[in-house]
Chains A and B, each alone.
Chain A
Amino acid sequence: MKNLLKYTYLLDTKNIKKNIENLWDRYQKIIDSKKSSWEDLNEARAILYFIGYLYPEKIALDSLEKRIEYIRPKIGLDEFLSAIDRKNIRILKKYRKNKRFNQLRDFYLIVKDIKNRTKNGTYLDEGRFNKIHNKLKPKNYF
Chain B
Amino acid sequence: MKNIVSGKVTIIRSEKDYYKIRKETILIAENTHPDIVIAIKKIKAIVTEIDNKLCHAAIIAREFDIPLLMGVENATKDFKTGDKVIVNLDNKAIHKIK
Which residues of A come within 8 Å of B, CB atoms? 56-57, 60-61, 64, 77-78, 81-82, 85-86, 111-112, 115-116, 118, 122-123
Given known A-B contacts A122-B15, A123-B33, A123-B34, A116 and B53 have beta carbons under 8 A apart: no
- Tell whether, in the assembled complex, residue B55 and residue A116 are in contact, meaning their CB atoms are under 8 Å apart: no
Given known A-B contacts A86-B62, A86-B65, A122-B15, A116 and B54 have beta carbons under 8 A apart: no
Asked whether any CB of chain A lies closer than 8 Å to the CB of B56, the reply is yes
**Told that A56-B54, A85-B63, A116-B56 touch, could you supply 4 new A-B pairs with CB distance under 8 A?**
A61-B52, A116-B34, A122-B15, A123-B56
Across-interface contacts of B65 in A (CB, < 8 A): 86
- Tell whether, in the assembled complex, residue A82 and residue B62 are in contact, meaning their CB atoms are under 8 Å apart: yes
Q: Which of B34, B55, B59 contacts A85 (CB 8 A)?
A: B59
Chain B 2-29 per-residue mask, 1 if CB under 8 angstroms from chain A, else 0: 0000000000000100000000000000
Across-interface contacts of B15 in A (CB, < 8 A): 122-123
Q: Which of A61, A118, A123 contacts B53 (CB 8 A)?
A: A61
- State the Cβ distance, A26 to closest chain B Cβ, in Å: 22
Given known A-B contacts A112-B59, A116-B59, A81 and B53 have beta carbons under 8 A apart: yes
